[in-house]
Amino acid sequence: MAKKRKKTTKKKPKRRVTRKKTPSRRATKRTKRVKSAVAEAYFDREFRKLKRLKHKPWIGAVLNFFVWGTGFMYIGRFIYGLMWLLAAALLLVPTLRMQRFLPNEIYLYMMAGYFVISVLLAVEAYFDAKEILHWRD
C-alpha cells in the first residue's frame, strides 16, 4: 500500500499593516516633487514671487507680439524677457538701418520672419502665463 502523505498547509506570510499615506499639500496642487532641498527652496521662493503677481495671459501675449520680451516681463519672467528684448534690439536696429541697402525681397523675408517669431513668442507668453495661473490655483 502506498504511504499516506500528510497534508501540509503553507502558512501565508503575515501582512504588514501600513499606515495610509496622506497626500501632502504640495501633491494636492498637482505639482511635481523636487528631490533636492535646495531646488525645492528655490522653487518655493519663485512660487511666492509669482503668486504676488496678478496678470492676464492675453495681455502678456499682446505685449510680446509687439515688442519681444515685454510680455515675459509682464508675467514675471524678467530675465527671460530682458534676453528677448536685447535680441530684438540686436536684430531689428541693424535691419532697419540697412533697409535702403537691401533688395526689397530680402527685406520682406526678414520682416516675415520677424512676424512669425512675434506670433510664436506671443503664444509662448500666453501659455506660460496660463501655467503660472495654474500654479497659483
**Residue 111: pLDDT band by 50, 70, 90 thresholds?**
confident
CA separation, residue 73 to residues 10, 20, 59 (Å): 68, 44, 11
CA quadruple 102, 104, 106, 108: dihedral sign: positive
What is residue 49's predicted lDDT score, i.e. its pLDDT? 65
8 Å CB contact between 31 and 53 = no
Q: Which residue has the higher pLDDT, 14 or 70?
A: 70
100 vs 102: CA distance, rounded Å: 6
| DSSP 8-state secondary structure symbol assigned to residue 3 | P
* Residue 84: band (very low, low, confident or very high) from pLDDT cuts 50, 70, 90: very high
pLDDT at 102: 82
Nearest in space to 118 (alpha carbons), one of 62, 75, 74, 76: 62
pLDDT (0 to 100) of residue 70: 93
**Count of C-beta atoms within a 10 Å radius of residue 12:** 6
| Confidence bin at 16 (pLDDT 50/70/90) | low
Query: Is residue 30's pLDDT more than 60?
Result: no
DSSP 91: H
Look at residue 35 in the predicted model and tell me its pLDDT: 64
